[in-house]
Amino acid sequence: MHITEEKTQRHTLAVMVDNEPGILARIAGLFTARGYNIESLTVSDVTADQAVSRITIVTSASPHVMEQIMAQLDRLVPVHSVTDLTALGPHVERELALLKVAGLGEHRIEALRLADVFRARVVDTTINSFVFELTGGREKIDGFIALMRQVGLCEVARTGIVAIARGDKAI
């Protein structure tokens, strides 16, 4: 018997759901029960009456597993639609990060210089620390974090990926 291993690819899913208690737990439970990993998860209301929410999920899977995930999500009753933005084509992904960096003297100056290069905003400051806000793609934020580790990174908080398809059509 010959077993072939399918290549996994990172996928960004947009799931439109009724905004009701327990739906996020049901979706997360679906992933957990089948051993699928969620790399990023964000949720927000998307209608004026707050009746519908958009859940953005980033996961890695082979094409076969991705089909299963989408089919299983689509079967949940409060789910309106499931869209694989990765398969759909060009889309925009962003993430927000807050970083607390402590340091004095040269480390403080270097932190401010790096923040300027990455277009990070200072949102809080004390004599000994800064809190920077940075928005961008995953690679940009990962790069900024790596550099800040060298000058006194204390703490990181990240929102997770939000994504939307390019073009004039809504999903």
**Chain segment 57-85, per-residue pLDDT in tens:** 999 998 899 999 999 999 998 999 999 99
**pLDDT over 90 at 128, yes or no:** yes
Strand ranges, E, within 19-90:
40-45, 52-61, 79-84
pLDDT band for position 25 (cuts 50, 70, 90): very high
pTM of the model: 0.84
Q: pLDDT at position 170, please?
A: 82
